[in-house]
């Protein structure tokens, strides 16, 4: 009841504020009451109201009630304002420090304050500002002192942090400013989210790639394994490579003396010629012939599969058994192996279609002979030098005798030509076909020409060989003939080398003066000129 005198002082009475809606409704009922005699028509034209007048009276009554409601609402609002003023007048007032952000260095004094406060604000950039102030109106208290602080951890849309501490008492806000926890800024959150997204994308991309790569490697390994197994099965089961009996034999690597001993003992294959050392095991059962890659005067050359690997199989006709024997003997020479000499695997004898075949198994080179290579492609100067150097190295190794307990005799090829030189995948050459080779040992001065009556290729024969003036008992004569033939091969290589952007077509030596298959007489005429 302490507030009532102040209410009367402003000119208002309790009856006005207690004027309720019930009073308004009673007035509305009273004014809307119409005599029953009027409703039943018991009236005269001069004394009672007619029906049109009833509608007009009702509308006027509605307007009057609406005006009374509006007046009542205004009176209530005015009462609340004056009530707040009365309350502020009866609240105790204090003195507070006030200062402006961001440093708050020059404080002033605020009087008539309800509460004092201090605050600290931190922007998203990390910059902080402090402030002291006071609150003089009760309406401001919920906005300042009853607002929860923001630490920057929960609300993602906020751009900073703030903390407000309120107190009651004179100069109670003179102490330290509030402290804020570390700011978890939006940039850190965005950076963390970006890193997480990058890691997820990397895992999403690399994961399938690794899985597909692993599966591909496994599938490739299995396919290669199945392919090799199939090739091995074919090499074992191919009926064309089977012997008629298990008593057929294979030659093994042996020294010259052992081979010569067996030849002198007249071990034959039925064709009247001596054979090299034989054992009761054959390579022919293990090799499957796949394609013919060349033909010559001695027979054919096939590509075969031996335990999944490519090998070259040189098949001699039975009439050329002497060449097969000689070549097997030369290849079996100790220390013959060299990177520029065709690699030897073994020799064998088999029967196909009731015909005796003599096999010589060597390494396989897919580029074929130097003759084929020069017909297909031209050469650069670097390729020319590489090919020439490798051929010369191979020929030097043949011509050189190696001394020692297990030495190597000097060997002359006697049939050097581009068709008897193979091209390897690394761009070098290796020398093949030793059916006419001659060996010489300096210790005994023994020259072994062999029993093969055939001679070399006439186009590559030296003049002394053509006119039969060569000394057959002198080993250097055969080496000189090899060097002459090597010179013709080098001429073929140089002709196919590009010089100033031009390379000649491949042609064999003396192509313009002798026919394709020259005779001794044709070559003698050329040499005589």
- Mark whether 378 and 335 lie in a shared domain: no
Do 406 and 334 contact (CB within 8 A), yes or no? yes
Which phi and psi angles does 25 have, rounded to 5°?
-65, -35
Distance CA 390, CA 370 (A): 12
Catalytic residues: 415
Domain of residue 66 covers 4-90
- Which pLDDT belongs to residue 140? 80
Distance CA 99, CA 475 (A): 119
Q: How far is CA 452 from the centre of its chain?
A: 59
- Mark whether 416 and 515 lie in a shared domain: yes
How many folded domains does the chain comprise? Answer: 5
- Mark whether 380 and 504 lie in a shared domain: yes
Residue 320 pLDDT greater than 90, yes or no: no
Tokens 């605050």: give the residue. 119
- Which pLDDT belongs to residue 76? 59
pLDDT digits (tens, 9 = 90+) for 85-117: 656 666 788 899 899 887 788 889 998 888 899
Average pLDDT, the chain: 76
Identify the domain boundary among 323, 341, 364.
364
Do 384 and 313 contact (CB within 8 A), yes or no? no
Higher pLDDT, 454 or 515: 515
Identify the domain boundary among 216, 237, 258.
237
CATH of the domain at 257: 3.30.200.20
pLDDT digits (tens, 9 = 90+) for 221-264: 999 888 877 766 655 544 444 333 333 334 433 333 343 443 34
- Which pLDDT belongs to residue 244? 35
- Mark whether 377 and 512 lie in a shared domain: yes
Do 186 and 152 contact (CB within 8 A), yes or no? no
- Which pLDDT belongs to residue 387? 97
In sequence order, the β-bridge partners of residue 166 are 117
Distance CA 517, CA 515 (A): 6
Q: Which helix (H) or strand (E) holds 187?
A: helix 186-237
For 493, left (φ over 0), alpha (ψ -120 to 50), or beta? alpha
Chain length of the chain:
529
Percent of the chain with pLDDT over 90: 33
pLDDT digits (tens, 9 = 90+) for 184-212: 555 545 566 678 888 888 888 988 999 99
Distance between first and last Cα of the chain: 154
**pTM to 2 decimals?**
0.51
pLDDT digits (tens, 9 = 90+) for 161-180: 888 889 988 989 888 888 88
CATH of the domain at 496: 1.10.510.10
- Mark whether 266 and 196 lie in a shared domain: no
3-state secondary structure of 225: helix
- Which pLDDT belongs to residue 159? 55
Neighbours of 318 (CB within 10 A): 17
- Mark whether 226 and 244 lie in a shared domain: no
What sign does the dihedral 360-231-228-281 (CA atoms) show?
negative
pLDDT digits (tens, 9 = 90+) for 429-440: 999 999 899 999
- Mark whether 22 and 40 lie in a shared domain: yes
Higher pLDDT, 59 or 482: 482
- Mark whether 242 and 195 lie in a shared domain: no
- Mark whether 292 and 342 lie in a shared domain: yes
Do 145 and 117 contact (CB within 8 A), yes or no? yes
What sign does the dihedral 254-255-261-265 (CA atoms) show?
positive
- Mark whether 72 and 177 lie in a shared domain: no
Residue 417 pLDDT greater than 70, yes or no: yes
Residue 285 labelled as part of a binding site:
no
Q: How far is CA 390 from the centre of its chain?
A: 38
Which phi and psi angles does 163 have, rounded to 5°?
-150, 130
- Mark whether 258 and 247 lie in a shared domain: yes
- Mark whether 48 and 148 lie in a shared domain: no
Identify the domain boundary among 317, 338, 364.
364
- Which pLDDT belongs to residue 394? 96
- CA angle, residues 28, 31, 37, in degrees to nearest 5: 135
In sequence order, the β-bridge partners of residue 163 are 120
């Amino acid at each position: 009841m302490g507030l009532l005198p102040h209410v009367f002082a402003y000119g208002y009475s309790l009856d006005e504020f207690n004027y309720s809606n019930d009073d308004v409704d009673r007035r509305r009922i009273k004014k809307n009451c119409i005599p029953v005699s009027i409703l039943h028509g018991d009236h005269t034209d001069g004394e009672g109201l007619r029906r049109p007048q009833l509608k007009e009276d009702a509308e006027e009554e509605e307007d009057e009630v609406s005006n009374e409601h509006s007046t009542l609402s205004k009176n209530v609002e005015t009462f609340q304002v004056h009530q707040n003023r009365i309350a502020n007048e009866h609240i105790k007032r204090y003195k507070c420090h006030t200062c402006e952000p961001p440093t708050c260095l020059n404080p002033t004094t605020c009087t008539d304050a309800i509460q004092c406060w201090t605050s600290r604000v931190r922007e998203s950039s990390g910059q902080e500002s402090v402030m002291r102030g006071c609150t003089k109106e009760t309406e401001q208290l919920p906005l300042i002192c009853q607002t929860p602080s923001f630490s920057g951890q929960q609300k993602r849309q906020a751009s900073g942090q703030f903390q407000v501490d309120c107190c009651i008492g004179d100069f109670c806000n003179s102490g330290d400013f509030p402290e804020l926890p570390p700011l978890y800024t939006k940039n850190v959150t965005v950076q963390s989210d970006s890193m997480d997204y990058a890691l997820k994308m990397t895992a999403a991309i690399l994961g399938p790639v690794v899985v597909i790569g692993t599966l591909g490697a496994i599938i490739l390994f299995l396919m290669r394994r199945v392919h090799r197994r199939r090739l091995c099965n074919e090499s074992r089961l191919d009926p064309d490579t089977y012997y008629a009996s298990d008593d057929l034999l294979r030659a093994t690597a042996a020294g010259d003396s052992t081979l010569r001993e067996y030849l002198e003992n007249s071990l034959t294959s039925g064709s009247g010629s001596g054979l090299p050392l034989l054992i009761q095991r054959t390579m022919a059962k293990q090799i499957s012939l796949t394609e013919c890659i060349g033909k010559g005067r001695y027979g054919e050359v096939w590509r075969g599969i031996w335990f999944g690997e490519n090998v070259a199989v040189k098949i001699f006709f039975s009439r050329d058994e002497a060449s097969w024997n000689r070549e097997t003997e030369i290849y079996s020479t100790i220390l013959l192996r060299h990177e520029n000499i065709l690699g030897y695997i073994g020799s064998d004898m088999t029967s196909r279609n009731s015909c005796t075949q003599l096999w010589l198994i060597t390494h396989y080179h897919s580029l074929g002979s130097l003759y084929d290579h020069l017909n297909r492609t031209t050469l650069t100067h670097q390729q020319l030098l590489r090919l020439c150097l490798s051929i010369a190295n191979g020929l030097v190794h043949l011509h050189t005798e190696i001394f020692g307990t297990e030495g190597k005799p000097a060997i002359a090829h006697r049939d050097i030509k581009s068709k008897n030189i193979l091209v390897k995948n690394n761009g070098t050459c290796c020398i093949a076909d030793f059916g006419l080779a001659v060996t010489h040992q300096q210790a005994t001065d023994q020259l072994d020409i062999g029993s093969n009556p055939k001679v070399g290729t006439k186009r590559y024969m030296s003049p002394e060989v053509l006119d039969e003036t060569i000394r057959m008992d002198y080993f250097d004569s055969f080496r000189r003939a090899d060097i002459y033939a090597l010179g013709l091969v080098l001429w073929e290589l140089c002709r196919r080398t590009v010089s100033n952007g031009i390379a000649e077509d491949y042609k064999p030596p003396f192509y313009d003066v002798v026919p394709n298959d020259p005779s001794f007489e044709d070559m003698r005429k050329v040499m005589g000129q």
